[in-house]
Amino acid sequence: MAEGFFTVEHTALENFARQLLEGAGVARQRAALVASNLIFGNLRGVDSHGMQLLPYYVEQLSSGLIDGAQDGAVLREGGATMLYNASNGLGAVTSAICCDHAIRLANEHGVAFVVARDANHFGAAAYWGRRISAEGLIGFAFCNASPIVPPFQAKEPRLGTNPICMSVPGAPETSWLLDMATTTVAANRIFKAYHNKQAEIPPGWAMDKEGRPTTSTNEAFHGLIMPLGGYKGTGLAVMVEILCAILGGGAMSTEVGGLRVKDRPMGVSHSFLAIDPARFVGAAEFAGRMDKLTDYLHSAAPGSGFDEVLIAGEPEARFEKQRRESGVPLGPGEWQRLIDWAAKFGVAPPAYT
Amino acid sequence: MAEGFFTVEHTALENFARQLLEGAGVARQRAALVASNLIFGNLRGVDSHGMQLLPYYVEQLSSGLIDGAQDGAVLREGGATMLYNASNGLGAVTSAICCDHAIRLANEHGVAFVVARDANHFGAAAYWGRRISAEGLIGFAFCNASPIVPPFQAKEPRLGTNPICMSVPGAPETSWLLDMATTTVAANRIFKAYHNKQAEIPPGWAMDKEGRPTTSTNEAFHGLIMPLGGYKGTGLAVMVEILCAILGGGAMSTEVGGLRVKDRPMGVSHSFLAIDPARFVGAAEFAGRMDKLTDYLHSAAPGSGFDEVLIAGEPEARFEKQRRESGVPLGPGEWQRLIDWAAKFGVAPPAYT
């Protein structure tokens, strides 16, 4: 592991996360669910959606911006749809409930769509897509997010990184699993380049503060994140905004709070779509056809500079295999923040190497 | 209009299209539907999905690769889902039937998902999203397509431009409407740059034949189209492939034919998702919230070099307003191909300016 990192065995880290959440007043079962959601991010190499989030959750729980005792409530259910009031509960808690409703409704109707409003950060969207696909259904998860991205042609933010996630049934180690923000890259790739004193970033990642495309890391750091491919990324982000906030009746665009916003709850909305392959080609044939599609993709000759072609989810599955074996590395700043909360709550930190 | 163009009043052009299709043996009602679908593309400035397609349709009808007399048949219906066999009928004919099933099922269940296999080109996906949203539902249309795009990191094509379309209820002139290929740009933008002897194209559009990103128009012309933003575009294209071909049981990846493929039917699959806002915030509130979101987006200060911020569908709505007034321009090559078929079928060409 890199110099200065604290590497913790993943189950020990998950216990630690649960204990910290319990320290913040969250009941054990809810705390365990949030911990599982966070460790999932770390195991798959998506550290921005792992333990890094926990100090924010704890702060928001402590200040009352998240209500750790809430499960939310069904606002309306009809046919294969449901509107859910997450009532400012923990994102993982209300998302688990909503996914389970989506699974139940899709088993009954073949397809289901559930929207939750007044919700909080749900960690990695892939966790929810996977929760649905583990039941033999195609699972989609969407979420609107804090407004940090300008629409195409603009220089003022109006949209979040609004992720799109789709997961298909199959072995977690090998199944195709897409979880992508609708920006070209996550904001923290730009922060990382800046902190590593990299002078240039690739074209398409960012704009300067006037909305001009830039490859200067410095301009990008003080500028704006680029919607994926320009107007298409904006279109996809708006698609997610509609499926979550507009349909659900929650905060939209600049109304949305954030992890670092102290004066109001986050107020994001989530949506979950589940589709049963058994209603179409059938479950077994669907699985066989997914394998065949994966083979087609893997069989494409790699381009110059690459030695393999990967499917969505494959890089993360490799991370997971490795980190399940050798532990989850946490950066020194991240570790310190966790240790500070542990001291406050009287929780013993886990062993590390 | 540009030099050398033939500009035709849009209803005259639509009649002409219908007559040519009737000349190719298509019954009047089916021919009228296909003509309406094509003119929709032209009116909105998406000429690649307008009358340019008609000569291909006529060739494929004449050679038996499209069965112009087919309506297809329901393979299975259950709950809010349907699997449809398009039986190689005209894409517009079977898509209209499938959209109407999606509308019926979504009215009953709040959400519906319909997949059609063994289908043909359905023109602009926006036409189908709009057909669903005209009934007060959110409409999505997806289609897999001829394999011309390499997966990320590859240099051999495995996927189509696999479009994603979403349309919301509201006035067609002002409503948000997304219809995008999952490549950075359509292939014909690269062809156009090449034919206009433009030396350079923007980064992110294309790769050379070895799969290296290039801004050389010449290399791009002989090379490969770039998935939108790299691995994310590939992920979205695979998402569409799964929702269409994998679920539907039709041709996938390199099995798919094409408009210029003479030895087998196109064999694409379509899918249609419909969601009823009345089951969530309610139809009226949904409309009000869409207006509010549109206002948020429009209110963002334009970036340097731009004087306004547009929402998805707005550029096309402007084209449509202008072309409804002043006609549809057809290029000389396109015009000649249509005229040649008109002569063969004894159809009088429309007046032009």
- A46-94 pLDDT tens trace: 998 999 999 999 999 999 999 999 999 999 999 999 999 999 999 999 9
Residue in B closest to A184 by C-alpha: B229
Question: Residue A242 has what pLDDT?
Answer: 98
Q: Which residues pair with A326 in a beta bridge?
A: none
Q: Distance between CA atoms of A152 and A207, rounded to whole angstroms? A: 11
Q: Is residue A42 in a domain? A: yes
Indicate the pLDDT class of residue B166, thresholds 50, 70 and 90. Answer: very high
Decide if A310 and B153 are in contact by the 8 Å CB cutoff: yes
- Cα(A349)–Cα(A147) distance, integer angstroms: 35
Mutate which: A164, A247, A290, vs B, most B CBs within 10 A: A247
Interface touch A252/B289, C-beta < 8 Å = yes
Q: Are residue B26 and residue B115 in the same domain, yes or no?
A: no
Q: What would the pLDDT profile of A267-279 be if each residue is shown by its tens digit? A: 999 999 999 999 9
> Which pLDDT tens digit goes with each residue over A107-146?
999 999 999 999 999 999 999 999 999 999 999 999 999 9
Instruction: Judge contact between B69 and B31, C-beta under 8 A.
Output: no
A80 touches chain B (CB under 8 A): yes
Q: Which of A229, A277, A301 sits opposite B247 (nearest CB)?
A: A277
Q: Judge whether A210 lies within some domain.
A: no
Domain that holds residue B272: 72-183+227-299
Joined tokens for residue A345: 């709550």
- Name the residue among A113, A235, A240, A228 with its Cα closest to residue B126: A235
Chain A residues in contact with B275 (beta carbon < 8 A): 81, 113, 243, 247
As a whole number of angstroms, the distance between CA A141 and CA B82 comes to 22
Q: State pLDDT tens for residues A291-334.
A: 999 999 999 999 989 999 999 999 999 999 999 999 999 999 99
Task: Note whether residue B78 is domain-resident.
Answer: yes
Helix (H) or strand (E) holding B224: strand B224-225
CB-closest option in B79, B207, B243 to A108: B79
Inform me whether the pLDDT recorded for A1 exceeds 80.
Answer: no
Q: Does the model's pTM come out above 0.80?
A: yes
pLDDT average, residue stretch B276-289: 98
- Which B residues 253-282 touch A at CB under 8 Å? 253-254, 275-277, 279-281
pLDDT band at A4 (very low <50, low <70, confident <90, very high): confident
Cα B103 from Cα B115, distance rounded (Å): 13
Q: For residue B194, what pLDDT band results from cuts at 50, 70 and 90?
A: confident
Greater confidence, A35 or B332? A35
**Residue A13, pLDDT score:** 98
Confidence bin at B2 (pLDDT 50/70/90): low
Mutating which of A165, A238, A272 best tests the B interface, going by the most B Cβ atoms within 10 A?
A238
> Can you name the residues that pair with B7 across neighbouring β-strands?
B329
Q: Which residues contact B3 (CB under 8 A, 6 or more apart)?
A: none
* Separation CA B93–CA B29 (nearest Å): 9
Residue B1 confidence (pLDDT) above 60: no
- Return the amino acid letter for A76: R
pLDDT in tens, B47-68: 989 999 999 999 999 999 999 9
Question: Which is more confident, A195 or A234?
Answer: A234
Scanning A13-72 for CB atoms below 8 A from B yields none
Distance CA A178, CA A172 (A): 12
Q: What is the mean pLDDT of the segment spanning B160-189?
A: 93
Q: Is B36 in the same domain as B111?
A: no
Q: Do B276 and A81 touch (CB under 8 A)?
A: yes
Which residues, 6 or more positions from B192, have their beta carbon under 8 angstroms from its beta carbon? Answer: none
- The verdict on A144 and A253 lying in the same domain is yes
Residues A252 and A176 in one domain: yes
The CATH number covering residue B280 comes to 3.30.1370.60
- The answer to the question of residue B33 being in a domain is yes
- Per-residue pLDDT band for B192 (boundaries 50, 70, 90) equals confident
pLDDT at position B24 is: 98
Q: Does residue A245 contact residue A254 with C-beta atoms inside 8 Å?
A: no
In chain A, alpha helices (H): 10-23, 28-43, 54-62, 91-109, 125-133, 187-195, 217-221, 231-241, 247-248, 283-298, 314-326, 332-345
pLDDT at B195 over 90: no
CA A29/CA A93 separation, integer angstroms: 9
B153 has a pLDDT exceeding 50: yes
Closest partner residue to B211 (CB to CB) among A138, A150, A303 is A303
Quick check: ipTM above 0.90?
A: yes
**Does one domain contain both B127 and B78?**
yes
Size of interface A-B (CB pairs under 8 A): 278
Measured in residues, chain B has a length of: 353
How far apart CA B65 and CA B61 sit, in angstroms, is 6
Q: What is the DSSP letter of A224?
A: E
Task: Please choose, from the candidates B131, B216, B204, B262, the residue with its C-alpha nearest in 3D space to the C-alpha of residue A184.
Answer: B204
Residues of chain A neighbouring B287 (CB-CB closer than 8 A):
none
Residue range A14-23, pLDDT digits in tens: 999 999 999 9
Question: What is the domain count for chain B?
Answer: 2
Q: Are residues B158 and B231 in the same domain?
A: yes
**Per the domain annotation, does B7 fall within a domain?**
yes
In this complex, is the C-beta atom of A211 within 8 Å of any C-beta atom belonging to chain B?
Answer: yes
Residue A166 sits in the same domain as residue A286: yes
Q: Which two tokens stand for residue A116?
A: 């939750």
d(CA A58, CA B172): 46
In a domain, A88, yes or no: yes
Name the least confident of A247-251, B48-52, B289-293: B48-52
- The residue whose two tokens read 């009352």 is A64
Separation of alpha carbons B57 and B68, rounded Å:
10
In chain B, which residue's Cα lies nearest the Cα of A313?
A: B235
Nearest to B235 among A247, A308, A312 (CB): A312
B312 with A235: Cβ contact below 8 A: yes
Residue A278 lies in a domain: yes
- For residue B203, the model assigns a pLDDT of 85
Could you count the other beta carbons within 10 Å of the beta carbon of residue B130? 23
In a domain, B3, yes or no: yes
